[in-house]
Structure 1
């Protein structure tokens, strides 16, 4: 499926941008109306997510994805994946295994994330 190949490339671009703190690339990949629920239940907008990277409140050192699956759904692609994460958030270390769900849609800008969710599922 061509869409799965496109989304796989977008997921890798997203992973790389998150580690690098590349706000410009993140902005291209995230829909303006993003709704993202973080591991503590906090709901973030696109600007809040970008600001965490821009200000370096969130600094990711490691983000290794595994068990990634693609689920086409009425014009969207739902991606489920797990990740080993090592990061600093607000100068506090964060590490563990997390489950992510991201909903991608295609518009005139290409594939973009419109919604997502992250849950901690274990220790490293």
Structure 2
């Protein structure tokens, strides 16, 4: 199970990096609960919107200190990401601690909740 989650984490990071909305749409639950680095509650549609519009572009995402905890059919992944990209044509660079909650459904694993916290 852990190796499957590691692969899904690689898939979601690659999809974020290349704004692959089809992959993201398949991995994120319809009722996703995401609290972003600004403390704003974001829906799945809100999370996908800047990828669709091209407003958000990533140049690099490096991961470190990935921790995975299994709770039956639910898995919690916590990881640092060093991110370089641009939003609305403004370059940014940040270190963020992401926590994602994966749950196993009949159609496969889906992210049901996530948080991101800026880390200095």
Q: TM-score range by the shorter chain?
A: over 0.9
Q: CA deviation at 1:60?
A: 1.0
Q: Does 1:116 align with 2:111?
A: no
Q: CA deviation at 1:74?
A: 4.3
* TM value normalised by structure 1: 0.92
Deviations 1:20-58 (A, max 9, x none): 110000000100000111111111111111111111121
The alignment covers a number of residue pairs equal to: 120
The range that moved more, 90-99 or 46-55, is 90-99
| Runs of 4+ residues over 6 Å off in structure 1 | none
Written as runs of structure 1 = structure 2, the 5 A alignment for 1:1-124 is 3-122=1-120
Gaps (5+ residues) in structure 1?
none
Q: CA deviation at 1:87?
A: 1.4
Whole-angstrom CA distance in 1 between matches of 2:107 and 2:93: 33
Gaps (5+ residues) in structure 2?
none
Q: CA deviation at 1:93?
A: 1.8
Q: CA deviation at 1:90?
A: 2.2
Deviations 1:76-99 (A, max 9, x none): 100000011001122222212110
* TM value normalised by structure 2: 0.95
RMSD between superposed Cα atoms in Å: 1.0
Whole-angstrom CA distance in 1 between matches of 2:39 and 2:91: 18
